[in-house]
């Protein structure tokens, strides 16, 4: 079982004028098959914590371990490519690539043959409720909800162990937001993926198996 564990994690941002203690000894345990919500006010350290879980940087103090190995000691590029998928509020789709090309792109970077990449991508796009008539459309031709579903399909194409989503419904209306959260929750329960969502929205947190509430860079409670 490939668990993701944060132990007494600290992180500090320094500029010429300011020092920001973003994380102050936060600890948390994440396991496959569960949907987690990280909640808290703006500036409490949620996004910083998510970026460290994603391997975009390493803690200044404490540890983050995946499958028993610290992110200090593993190849972070390999970790991000093969184990983690990120979903952002603004979708981050490549505007000059079609829907299917966007989903195929990370697979092609891994060296997957184009025919196999297309097959996998088509399956994942269909799994989030988008039909083949959308495959050749560009992101600008899609609604916000459709773009976010393509982003989820792209994340799934890499067969990740962990999906990390930063305010994934922030740019969506209520109905599309509910649909995205429903898809993410199903991925946790049906695909046995660890899904971690940073959100301000209490209605999203209510759908989580475990809620981690943050304040001043710490986890102030963890509730099932």
Cα→Cα distances 20→51, 99, 217, Å: 16, 39, 10
Q: Please check whether residues 43 and 105 belong to one and the same domain.
A: no
Q: Please check whether residues 90 and 77 belong to one and the same domain.
A: no
17 occurs within a structural domain: yes
For residues 23 and 12, give the distance between their C-alpha atoms in angstroms, rounded to a whole number: 7
Residue 13's domain comprises 1-83+165-176+194-224
Give the model confidence (pLDDT) of 19-50 as tens digits: 889 999 999 999 999 999 999 888 889 999 99
Q: Count of domains in the chain?
A: 2
The answer to whether 109 and 80 have CB atoms below 8 angstroms apart is: no
Q: Please check whether residues 56 and 3 belong to one and the same domain.
A: yes
For the cut 70, the answer to whether the pLDDT of residue 2 exceeds it is no
Q: Please check whether residues 54 and 24 belong to one and the same domain.
A: yes
**Cα 9–203–163 angle (5° rounding)?**
45
Q: What is the mean pLDDT of the chain?
A: 91
The answer to whether 11 and 172 have CB atoms below 8 angstroms apart is: no
187 occurs within a structural domain: no
CATH number, domain with residue 5? 3.40.50.300
For the cut 80, the answer to whether the pLDDT of residue 119 exceeds it is yes
41 occurs within a structural domain: yes
For residues 136 and 162, give the distance between their C-alpha atoms in angstroms, rounded to a whole number: 28
> Would you say the C-alpha torsion 44, 215, 162, 128 has a positive or negative sign?
negative
Give the pLDDT band of residue 208 (cuts 50, 70, 90): very high
Q: Which two tokens stand for residue 210?
A: 């475990």
182 occurs within a structural domain: no
Question: DSSP state, 159?
Answer: -
146: alpha, beta or left, given left = phi > 0 and alpha = psi -120 to 50? alpha
Longest dimension (CA), the chain: 53
CB < 8 Å & 24+ apart, contacts of 50-53: 50/164, 50/166, 50/196, 50/198, 52/6, 52/9, 52/11, 52/23, 53/4, 53/6, 53/84, 53/162, 53/164, 53/196
pTM (2 d.p.): 0.90
Q: Please check whether residues 77 and 110 belong to one and the same domain.
A: no
33: alpha, beta or left, given left = phi > 0 and alpha = psi -120 to 50? left
Q: What does the pLDDT average to over 123-137?
A: 94
Q: Please check whether residues 112 and 128 belong to one and the same domain.
A: yes
Give the model confidence (pLDDT) of 48-94 as tens digits: 999 999 999 999 999 999 999 999 999 999 999 999 999 988 888 99
Q: Please check whether residues 15 and 58 belong to one and the same domain.
A: yes
Give the pLDDT band of residue 18 (cuts 50, 70, 90): confident
Range in 97-101, 114-118, 189-193 with the lowest mean pLDDT: 189-193
181 occurs within a structural domain: no
């Amino acid at each position: 079982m490939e668990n993701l564990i944060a132990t007494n994690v600290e992180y500090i941002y320094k500029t010429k004028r300011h020092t920001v203690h973003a994380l102050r000894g936060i600890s948390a345990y994440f396991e496959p098959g569960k949907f987690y919500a990280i909640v808290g006010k703006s500036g409490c350290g949620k996004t910083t914590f998510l970026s460290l879980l994603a391997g975009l940087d390493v803690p200044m103090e404490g540890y983050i371990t995946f499958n028993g190995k610290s992110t200090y000691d593993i190849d972070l590029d390999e970790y991000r490519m093969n184990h983690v998928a990120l979903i952002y509020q603004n979708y981050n789709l490549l505007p000059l690539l079609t829907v299917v090309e966007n989903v195929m792109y990370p697979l092609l970077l891994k060296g997957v043959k184009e025919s196999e990449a297309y097959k996998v991508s088509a399956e994942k796009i269909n799994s989030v409720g988008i039909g083949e008539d959308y495959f050749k459309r560009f992101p600008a031709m899609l609604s916000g909800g459709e773009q976010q579903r393509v982003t989820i399909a792209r994340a799934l194409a890499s067969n990740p162990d962990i999906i990390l989503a930063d305010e994934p419904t922030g740019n969506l209306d209520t109905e599309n937001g509910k649909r995205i959260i429903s898809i993410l929750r199903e991925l946790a329960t049906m695909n046995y993926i660890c899904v971690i969502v940073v959100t301000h929205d209490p209605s999203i947190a209510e759908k989580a198996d475990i809620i981690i509430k943050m304040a001043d860079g710490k986890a102030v409670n963890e509730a099932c």
